[in-house]
Amino acid sequence: MNKIQHCKYIQSIKQNQQNLYTMSKINYKKGLDFENEVAKYVVEEMKFDDSQVRPNDSGSTSDKGFEIDVLAKVNDKGSEMYKSASIVCLIAGLFALALCIFNVIDDSFIFFMSFVFIGVSIFYISYGEKLMAKYVWIECKSLSKKADRNMIMQLVYKYNDYQKKQEKKYNIVNKLFFSESGFNNDAKQFAKENGVICYEKNANKFKEVNLNF
């Protein structure tokens, strides 16, 4: 190989690397845009409380942890009811404590219970939502081809590995899979067998596809 050929070879390698880098950036942006679209959809159309894009948490065997495409918070009306009850208990506890302090009521039991009410109420108001909140793991694929069995299998593996973890950051109770190009039949069957609810994009709308598969 002469000097000119060597220079052309080096230039060709650099060009290929640049093309790969450019393609990687395009795919990354495309995937992120689709995840943001899904995150918006589950809140506005499926009435989830909130959604996060690409939060990270570890599994029971994975040292690197998992990047969850979209994490959706379940609309839990019971949690809001308990929070409202805690606020009422806090007010009642403060009122009873004030009566005891100003000697309107002279009862040591009520004095003690007022502190219990206040303490429990403050704890639940501060941490109750985090302790009781439920989340759904959502996998997203923005590909030109249909999602296959292996993609569903990866989600099931990550979800099951996360559930084996002793101390979880999120109380994840279900798993969904959104695919821009749909699913092949093998993927839909495997998803149904493993409790994965699948949605595909059709005419700019998402549709559940394996409900009656």
Euclidean distance between the first and the last CA atom of the chain, given in angstroms as a whole number = 60
Q: What is the pLDDT of residue 123?
A: 79
pLDDT for residue 114 is more than 90: no
Three-state SS across the chain?
CCHHHHHHHHHHHHHHHHHHHHHHHHHHHHHHHHHHHHHHHHHHCCCCCEEEECCEECCCCCCCCEECCEEEECCCHHHHHHHHHHHHHHHHHHHHHHHHHCCCCCCHHHHHHHHHHHHHHHHHHHHHHHHHCCEEEEEEECCCCCECHHHHHHHHHHHHHHHCCCCCCCCEEEEEEEECCCECHHHHHHHHHCCEEEEEEECCEEEECCCCC
pLDDT, tens digit (0-9, with 9 covering 90-100), for 154-185? 999 999 999 988 888 888 999 999 999 999 99
Predicted confidence band of residue 21 (pLDDT cuts 50, 70, 90)? very low
